[in-house]
Structure formats: C-alpha cells, structure tokens
Amino acid sequence: MSSVRFDGVKVPLLLITVFIIIMILVKNSHVLQRFMVNQEIRLSTSQYEVTSTEHFDVKYLPIDEAYAPMVAAVAEDARQSVSGMFGEQPPERTTLIIYPDSASLAKSFGWNKNAKAMGVYWGGSIRVLSPGEWLKEPSQEAFIREGPVYHEYAHLMVDEVTEGNYSRWLTEGIAQYVEKHLTGFEFASPAVRNREVTLYSLRQLDKDFDSLEESVAYWQSLQIVEYIVDHYGEAAIWQILNDLGDGYQIDGTVEKTLGLSYERFEDEMLTALEKEWIRGCKV
Ligand SMILES: [Zn+2]
C-alpha cells in the first residue's frame, strides 16, 4: 500500500483518501450533518424519558412529564398541517426535545445562558422550552396559538425540501408565514416603535441575520415572503424551495421563478416594504 510521511509517521494513502472524503462530506452533506446532530442529541439527552407517537419521539425530563402528551399531540398536528401547506411529504420520524428551562435549552447549543428562545430547529430535530416555563395555565389551545411548534416544523420542512440550501431570511420568513396562516400568531411591526424606516438589504439578511436588529430582521423576512405571495402567488414560494433543493442559488431561482433579476426584485420589494413600514407607523 502506498503511504506518505507526516512528522515521521507513515500514513497509508487509503486512510488519507478516506479522511479527505469524510471532510468533503462533512462540509457538504446534509445527511451527515443530521447524523451528527442525532448522535449529539442521543448523548446529551441520555437521561431524558421518551414518549413515542406515530411520527415523533418526544424526550423530556420527569418535571415535564405532564406536558409531553400535549406537546406530542400538537407536534403531530403541526406535521400534518405544515407539510400540507408545503404540498410535500414530511419526514417519517422526528425527535423533539422538551427542555425544562431557558438555560438548559441555551446550553444544548452552547449559547449564552441568558439567550431566550421558545423553540429551535437544528439538523432535523426540534427543541422547545417547556410550556410550564412560559404559559400561566398550560392548555393545548394556548400552546398551539403561542407555542413554537408550527414555526419550528416549517423550518424543518424548508430544510427538508431545499436539502439545507436556503437563506436565513427565507426560512424565517416562511416559518412566520406558515405560523401566521395556521395559528394566527404574528409579531407586531417594529414600525410601531420606530418611525424612521430601517430596512436591510437581502445580502445583510442573508449574511448577518443574527447581528441585525432582531425585530426588524424577523418582520422584514415575513414581509418579503408575503410580498412574493401577494405579487406572484404562494406557488412561487414552493417553487423557489424546490429549485433550491435542485441546487439553484437564491438569485437564480428568483430570476427563474419570478421572471426578473434578483437586483430588480430587491429594489421593487424594498420600495413596497418602505410603504408598508410607513403605513405601520400610523397604526
Ligand atoms: Zn425561526
């Protein structure tokens, strides 16, 4: 077998080739990323209980035992209704983890323990904060209306259909669009608090989403998706996702699906959103 030397150690070429192939797969493979996230979840939640429904494995600590059936039932409904909107087959099984408090949810991602999130989608799995932490009187209706499950399941479907090839604004816009449609929940417009128009470019929303003013970045993401739906029809959104899944870049699929250049789309969309912002100030 051929071999090369690193620091005086002989390493067979076959091993190096396998290592390089693995590195390429780690960078590019959606499937491998999910596999690794799954392994990490298995290790980090080995102390958790599990309740399994037809399509979900819900993991929780004993303190949240009373909420597990409700969360699982809502997750089953979200799977059916969200995938129905997408017109796509959802994954057969999904792991959903209930964390007892914000600190443990944040810690599962290595985030600052003060980070606040009610739910997170990552690598094929959904993590939610226990309803006991944020609902005064937990009920299924309130958990559907105010909870994160529909939003996070929409992120999962975007990831599924595009095979991981999506812009941050697109997945946040679609998750809020789906959530608004199915549960009625929508964040208040930031225009109510701020009269001055502060809109971001698509590039900023794509590259720096987490360093932007959060309320504006989320609001604008939903507005862009609604702008596309209003002007080109909802089918355009699903077409864009399918194209991304086929390997198109966002500018290429916007051009193909909406029939105008990405730059012109951005100009027209920002002009419309500016009017929307000014309208929002008057509410
Ligand atoms: Zn989101």
239 CA → ligand 1 middle, Å:
21
155 CA → ligand 1 middle, Å:
7
How far, in Å, CA of 74 to CA of 268, rounded? 38
224 CA → ligand 1 middle, Å:
15
Q: What is the pLDDT of residue 25?
A: 62
Q: What is the pLDDT of residue 26?
A: 58
7 CA → ligand 1 middle, Å:
47
5 CA → ligand 1 middle, Å:
48
Spatial CA neighbour of 61 closest among 70, 76, 51:
51
pLDDT in tens, the chain (283 residues): 556 565 555 667 777 777 777 666 655 678 888 888 889 999 999 999 999 999 999 999 999 999 999 999 999 999 999 999 999 999 999 999 999 999 999 888 777 766 678 999 999 999 999 999 999 888 999 999 999 999 999 999 999 999 999 999 999 999 999 999 999 999 888 887 877 888 999 999 999 999 999 999 999 999 999 999 999 999 999 999 999 999 999 999 999 999 999 999 999 999 999 998 888 876 5
Extents of the domains making up the chain: 1-32, 45-160, 163-283
225 CA → ligand 1 middle, Å:
14
Spatial CA neighbour of 130 closest among 115, 139, 118:
118
197 CA → ligand 1 middle, Å:
23
CATH topology of domain 45-160: Glutaredoxin (3.40.30)
Do 169 and 177 form a contact (C-beta atoms < 8 A)?
Answer: no
